[in-house]
Amino acid sequence: MSARFLTLAALLLIGGGAIWWVQRTAAPQAPPGVHERAGSDSQSDHDASPAPVPSQAASSQALPKPSEALAQTPATGPRRESSRRNQEAIEHLEAGELEEAIKLFETNVEEHPDEPVFQQNLAEALLRLALREYDHEPEVAFAHLERAIELAPARQELLPLRDRWHTAVQAQAGFAEDQSTHFVLQYDGDRSDLLTLGYREVLDDLENAYQDYGEFFDVFPVEAGRPKFRAVLYDREAFDQVTGIGEWAGGAYDGTIRVPVRHFQRDRNRIRQTLRHELVHAFVDEVGGRGVPGWLNEGLAQYLSETNLSQRTRALDRARSQLVGKDLFSPTQLQGSLAQISEPEQVAKAYDQALAFTHWIAVHYGERTLVRMTQASQQGSDAAATFQRWIGVGLETAHQDFVDSL
């Protein structure tokens, strides 16, 4: 939804029935520049390292494309020591050692304030640090982003990110904050429905889901060193302003779980399921990163978020019935963001197919197969190759068996 990219829980009424379904990644209405993974240029020069690949940091937002300055020789010919320091800083940057890189880049900027390459490099390092910090220190992250923009004013793609963060900081100003073992929850403390018992129920929901997903994926991210997950509850207007999406969205994940709450008690079950759904995306992001196929990510979120067995069965039966007689997507066609599909009927079909195929794999090949497929990209492979290696059958062949079962 990752940016590392925006993850959206879209709650739509499909057809004549009141059927809630959930959508991951950015919709067309969402702000540009956060959803797709940025590319990088890889050029070499005598005094410079290739341009760094964008880091995904701890956030789920994608970095804008890095400046090509990292692949250029400084125009004013700085002394050998500055060039050596620049190279050392780039190596720290590539290794994710952002604070060390920033110290070295800062020294170069102080010694050579008119050298654009050093300014660009420092801006890149500050941007990556801001993205890493945003989940748990948004105000500090915003200050680092502002400094990056000052150093690299030509990077106009950073301005929408700054605007979104500024909106979020404003919307959450004065919010109450409570914590549990694995979560930091922010909410409007003036709302009595949340201030009394509501916040505690939300934290309990998240903690229960954390335990469920930790056991399912065999990983507990906070115990492994990740900062606590952050969740924010907004009123509807503030949610729309922060995410930049429309009335149809029921939640979002961009490194932070964001959920609009109109009537806490009346919408209690929906809020619980939305929180669980978005936390699945957070776990998938931790376990598999950006390489997890869209169909698998969405399929897992739908498959795991419903705790009531009878309701999960009804959702699955409905999804399968909606697919009967239709020309379905191949897994390859659903590899990327499902939001790339523009027609509402096709989007609905994609989500039904994601749920039904994910469940079919779980039944026929075991839930552990789904976990291995999710882990694949973090292990230098991909979901299809991992399925082939583990099961001995091609994923496309298995998908055809699934289609034949409808």
Tell me how far apart the alpha carbons of residues 210 and 297 are, in angstroms, rounded to a whole number.
17
The yes-or-no verdict on residue 40 having pLDDT over 80 is: no
Q: Is the pLDDT of residue 245 over 70?
A: no
Confidence bin at 350 (pLDDT 50/70/90): very high
* pLDDT of 84 over the 90 cut: no
Q: What average pLDDT is seen over the chain?
A: 79
Closest residue by Cα to residue 399 from 334, 317, 338: 334
The label of the residue with tokens 């309990």 reads 204
Give residue 236's pLDDT: 85
Taking only the tens place, the pLDDT of each residue in 184-198 is 999 987 887 787 778
Tens digits of residue pLDDT in 277-334? 999 999 999 999 888 999 999 999 999 998 888 888 999 999 999 999 999 999 999 9
Q: What type of residue is 380?
A: G
**What percentage of the chain exceeds 70 in pLDDT?**
79
Among 214, 230, 338, which residue's Cα sits nearest to residue 286? 214
- Each residue of 42-76: pLDDT tens digit? 333 333 332 222 333 333 333 333 344 444 455 45
What is the strand order of the sheet 183-187 is part of? Answer: 7-10, 249-253, 257-260, 229-234, 183-187, 176-179
Q: What is the pLDDT of residue 31?
A: 29
Q: How far apart are CA 327 and CA 403, in angstroms?
A: 10
What integer is the mean pLDDT of 348-377? 95
How many angstroms separate the CA atoms of 405 and 266, rounded?
Answer: 39
Contact 249, 27 (CB under 8 A): yes
Residue 362's Cβ-count burial label (10 Å; 0-12, 13-18, 19+) is middle
Percent over 90 (pLDDT), the chain: 48
Q: Distance between CA 121 and CA 141 in Å, rounded?
A: 17
Q: Quick one: pLDDT at residue 197? A: 76
Of 168, 185, 173, nearest to 31 (Cα)? Answer: 168
| Model confidence, pTM | 0.72
Euclidean distance between CA atoms 267 and 146, whole angstroms: 38
Token code pair at residue 248: 């149809």
pLDDT digits (tens, 9 = 90+) for 180-234: 999 999 998 788 778 777 889 999 999 999 999 999 999 999 999 998 999 999 9
How many residues are listed for the chain in this entry? Answer: 406
Question: Hey, is 233 helix, strand or coil?
Answer: strand
How far from chain centre, in Å, is Cα 317? 29
pLDDT at 402: 96
Convert the pLDDT of each residue in 120-162 to its tens digit.
999 999 999 998 888 778 789 989 999 999 999 999 889 988 9
Checking if the pLDDT of 27 tops 70, the result is: no
Confidence of residue 248 (pLDDT cuts 50, 70, 90): low
Q: CB neighbours (10 Å) of residue 236?
A: 12
C-alpha distances in Å from residue 261, one per residue of 7, 173, 249, 393: 18, 17, 12, 45
315 against 114, higher pLDDT? 315
